[in-house]
Every structure is written in C-alpha cells, then in structure tokens.
Structure 1
Amino acid sequence: MAEQNGNTGGTGTDERVPTVVANEVHITYKVNGARTGKGSATSALSRIVSRRQAPGVREVHAVKGVSFVAYRGEAIGLIGSNGSGKSTLLKAIAGLLPVTKGRVLTQGQPSLLGVNAALMGDLTGERNVVLGGLAMGMSREEIRERYQDIVDFSGINEKGDFITLPMRTYSSGMGARLRFSIAAAKSHDVLLIDEALSTGDAKFQRRSAERIIELRKEAGTVFLVSHSNRSITDTCERAIWLEAGTLRMDGPAAEVVAAYEKFNSRGK
C-alpha cells in the first residue's frame, strides 16, 4: 500500500481488502487575494527579496482531520456543500495534492478522471482517445481494440462525426462524456470521479452507473463526487459527507444522503 506522504503503515487484518486509508488527514493551501494595482510588480519583487508573504494571501484549511477506510469493490459517494473539501480530498488521494498532516495510503494507482486522461483541445477526439489511453497505461493495441467501444459509449457521434473534430469544439458535456468513456475503458485499482457524470443526459448517466458497477466487480474502488443526490444513491452503496472540511457522516448512501438533505432543509 503506497503512502502519499511519508512512510507506509499497517492497515489491520480486516478480511476485506483496504484500497484507501485516510488517517487524520489535514490539507491546507494558500490562495491569493485581490491584486494590489499600480506598482504591484515592484512590490512583488520586494517581497521575493525579503521573503515576505504577499498581502491578501490567506491560508485555507480545506480538509480537517478526516479519517476513513475504503475497501476493494466499494463505490463511495462524496457529498457536501460547495467548498466542503470534496475535490481537495480526491486530489490528495490521487497524490496530486500534498497532505499537510496525517496520512493517505493507497493500494495500487489511483486515477482521477479528467486528469489522467490529459486531453488536448486542439487535437481531435480521435487523437485524444489515443492520448488518454496511453496516459492511463494502455498499450496501443489495447486502445485499437477498445477504440470503437469508447466512442460508442461516449455517444458523441450520435448527432454527427464529432470524434474527428478538435475537442475545443465540444460542449462541456461532450468533453466530460469522452473523458469518462476513456477512463472507464480499463479497470482501475481506485477510480476517482469528480462531477464528471453530472453533465450527461439520462441515457449516458444510466450507462455510466452500469459501468461503475462493472468496475467494482473487477475488484476496483470507485469514489464519486456529485451534487446530484440521486446519482449517489443510484450508484453508490456508501457515502461520506464532508461539511466545512470535516467528516460529518460515513455510512450507507441512502442514510447519509437523507441526513444531508435534512440538514439542508433546516437552512443549516
């Protein structure tokens, strides 16, 4: 089991196979405030020389002491209000964002949808299928074998030959569908999906949910971030609720979603 920060540690003897262990995870990062206007370049140079922090820079404590264990074959939904730390936590699991305190350990290689498939706007969809497949470790032969299935699954050619057009001509929904289709073309130890399914139509969402079930059966673990509570309950059997960076609830998806909806209905 690989650790995103520090040395690996034990994960216990549970008969289920753990794939992700988050142990008291804290994540902080700095964000810039408003520009200072005239003279800001000179001021910036002065700060670099003196090693002073820029005015307006503030530290955000995005994730605060979150702990959980994810197991092979699980589909786990991450829910919470905007800014609750969901996407930040996914990036930490994927190894793209350092953990400030605590540990994240993973079994195998996590894949964050939309990052591993590093698609390029000036290339055609066809070329991006090849590029995305290679980025996820598929061989050219595997890509050739799965190419048509990827295009058909995405549905982007249903109203024209869009696969031959540059991706910059795609709508956000078309781009998201192609990214998911590429990512779903292979099995993953841990697949992290951040809002990628919310832009698809009902037909594509059904196909995506079915594919996620298949990925779980292939011994993978799926994390899904979505603002659609229906997507969470339809796709996941477990949910983790984050609020203001803290873990509010972890349990069966239907129960966690119900508690979250009740929380929102009270106006927080």
Structure 2
Amino acid sequence: MAGTDIEEVDFEIDEDELDTSPLPEVATDQLSLLVNDLHVSYRVFGAKKVGHGGGRRRGPLARILRRGTESSLVREVEAVRGITFAARHGEAIGIIGMNGSGKSTLLRAIAGLIPPSSGTVHVAGSPALLGVNAVLMKNLTGARNIMIGGLSLGLSSAQVKERFQEIVDFAEIGEFVNYPMKAYSSGMGARLRFAISASAVPDILMIDEALATGDAAFRAKSKARMDEIRKAAGTVFLVSHSLATIQNMCTRVLWVHEGRLVMDGEPKEVCVAYRDFVHARNDYRAATDKSTKASKKK
C-alpha cells in the first residue's frame, strides 16, 4: 500500500472543459458482472528487511556468501481484500482511491489477467482492459498495433481493416500511425489504446487512467463513445485520479482503500467523502511532520 503517495492525487482537471450534459439513462436490471469476496495476493521476492538501520558493513566475500539467503526473502502483498459488488448493463462505474490502493489490480482480476487468491468473478460477456501501460509493441508501428489490438479483441482482420481509418481519426495520430509507437508521446499512445479498445464495442470496457492524458475535445469524444457502449448494453469501468472526470462520466463510483471497498454509491457523494478523507489525511501528515521537525530542533 503506497499510502505515502497521497500528495500525488490529482483531484481536478479544468471543470470548464468538461461536458456537463447529463448522462443518458440506460434502464436495465440485468447483471453484467458479479464480484464475490475477491482476494488477490502476490509475492515479492528478494524483499529487504526494514527497520534495522544500515547494519554492519560487509566485505565482498560476505556479500557473495549471503546473496542467496537475502534474495530468498519473500513478502506477501494483499492487493485486494474481500471486495464484493455487482455491476449492471448500461452502468459507467468509476473507481477511485489513493496510489497503491488496489484499483488497477481489481481491474486486472476482473479482466482475467490476474488469478484471484480466493473469491470469484462472474462475467457475462467479454471484458476488454485498456490501460496506459497496456501491452502494445513499441517497436511496431501504430498500424501494426491496431491490427494486433483489434484481433486480440476478437475482430477479424477484415473488420480491423474496415475500422482502421476510424481508429486513426479517433486517436488523432495522423501520419504517426506509420511510425513506431516508441516515437509517440504518452498522450498519443493513450489515445490510440482507447480508440483500439472502444472500436470493438466490448461487453465490458475497463479504462485505467487513459483519459487523464487527453485534452477537452478528446475527453468529450471519449464520453460520447462510452455512452454508445452503455446504450448497447455494455458496462464501463473508469479508473482516474480526476474526480471531475469521474463525476462527469460515471453513473456510480467505488472507493477502494488498502484493497478494501470503502464506499459504493452516487458519484458526487462518494467523491466528496473521498476528497474530505484525503484532505484530512494530508493535514494530519503535515501536522505530524511539523511536530517531528520541532522536536528534532530541541
């Protein structure tokens, strides 16, 4: 849990740039996803002991002899702890929380990319996970990545070719589609990933931070595309540190903290509670740091 990263939370973008039109209603009671008591743990190998200072300095031979034992240290990390919720067709669900809270791990478990330690995930349909760090091949051109990404989403090569120009136009990358992706800016890469993932109209679209790199026009297009997916009986998950974006694009919000589901409800209510929590935590840390510095001066 990276609880010390709370100052990195980016609460807002320019709200004047947001489309404040109401989200379209999609009336349905049909479940698209059921997460039941989900736990996800993973092991970190070679973890170092902490809390014992620098220790005695060892010579080269001693370090070589101890290398095997030190690297065998294993630390168990509980990234998701007993999360339960249900999602319905037509919902746009935001997921918020501090860095290291388990948001991205939760999405990857839903997408089937990480096996649960315990609990179950039942999905009605095919999920597509879009992340800023999604595995596209940086040494290949955008055009090749469009084909690879489209095929991985279940489209035929003919369907990818048919939608190729639409994807390029949506991503706003122009002639860069013929350049290797390693030449792209982070914003261009994120826009292309969104365009690829949304081109197939997946049953469940999961977006991990991708919209944070787009400008106002791209966010408006993304919102319209998300609304189209919802109207087609799809479900959208959006992870973002921007509470303005979450309130603008989502019909429901999950607040995850230290791997646990803290709150599940209406976007404005959950975002206000989360903002108050982080501000209070920041204030407490600032007061603690000030007290510590004062005591050291004495």
CA distance in 2, matches of 1:245, 1:116: 21
Quote the offset at 1:114 in angstroms.
4.2
Give unpaired runs (5+ residues) of structure 1: 1-14, 48-52
Extract unaligned runs of 5+ from structure 2: 1-27, 50-57, 283-298
- Residue 41 of structure 1 deviates from its aligned partner by 9.3
1:39 to 28, 46, 64: 64
How far apart are residue 42 of structure 1 and its match?
Answer: 6.3
Report the 3-state secondary structure (helix = DSSP H, G, I; strand = E; otherwise coil) of the residue aligned with 1:265.
helix
- Asked whether 1:119 is paired with 2:152, we answer no
Q: Which residue of 2 aligns with 1:251?
A: 265
The 3 A distance-change label for structure 1 pair 177 and 39 is same
Among 176, 198, 201, the residue aligned to 1:184: 198
**Which of 144, 148, 156 is the equivalent residue of 1:131?**
148
Deviations 1:83-126 (A, max 9, x none): 11100110110111111121111111211114997421111111
In structure 2, the partner of 1:54 is 72
CA distance in 2, matches of 1:82, 1:190: 24
Aligned Cα root-mean-square deviation (Å): 2.3
Identify the match of residue 204 of structure 1 among 196, 207, 218: 218
Contact 2:131–2:209 (8 Å) recurs in 1: no
Aligned partner of 1:95 among 108, 112, 119 = 112
Give the fraction of aligned pairs with identical amino acids, expressed as a percent. 50
Q: Structure 1 CA distance, aligned partners of 2:270 and 2:90?
A: 19
Partner secondary structure for residue 216 of structure 1: helix
Q: Distance in 1 between matches of 2:66 and 2:219?
A: 48
Number of residues paired by the alignment?
243
Q: Residue 170 of structure 1 corresponds to which residue in structure 2?
A: 184
Tell me the residue number matched to 2:32. 19
The answer to which of 200-209 and 65-74 deviates more is: 200-209
Paired residue secondary structure (1:209): helix
- Structure 1 position 262 matched with structure 2 position 276: yes
Letter in 1 for 2:238: L
Q: In structure 1, the residue corresponding to 2:212 is in which secondary structure?
A: coil
Q: Which has the higher helix share?
A: 2
Matched, 1:230 2:244: yes
Q: Deviation string for 1:200-242 (max 9, x for gaps)?
A: 1221111111111111111111111001111111110100001
Counterpart of 2:24 in structure 1 is none
Asked if the contact 1:19–1:107 (Cα under 8 Å) also holds between the matched residues in 2, the reply is: yes
- Secondary structure of 2:264's aligned partner: strand
Letter of the 1:144 counterpart: K
Are the aligned partners of 1:116 and 1:136 in contact in 2 as well (CA < 8 Å)?
A: no
* 1:250 positional shift: 0.3
Candidates 107, 114, 121, aligned match of 1:104: 121
Q: Which residue of 2 aligns with 1:142?
A: 159
Distance 1:145 1:208 in 2: 20
1:149-202 Cα offsets, whole Å, 9 max, x none, are 100100112xxx211111111111111110100111111111111111111122
| SS of equivalent residue, structure 1 residue 96 | coil
Q: Report the Cα distance in structure 2 between the residues aligned to 1:116 and 1:246, rounded to whole angstroms.
A: 24
Name the TM-score, length of structure 1 as normaliser. Answer: 0.85
The structure 1 segments of at least 4 consecutive aligned residues displaced by more than 3 Å after TM superposition are 34-38, 114-118
Corresponding residue SS for 1:21: strand
Q: Is 1:67 paired with 2:80?
A: no
CA change 1:115–1:79 in 2 (3 A) is closer
- Report how far residue 39 of structure 1 moved: 2.5
1:92–1:99 Cα contact (<8 Å) kept? yes
Q: Distance in 2 between matches of 1:206 and 1:18?
A: 27
SS of corresponding position for 1:112: strand
User: Residue type of the partner of 1:121?
Assistant: K
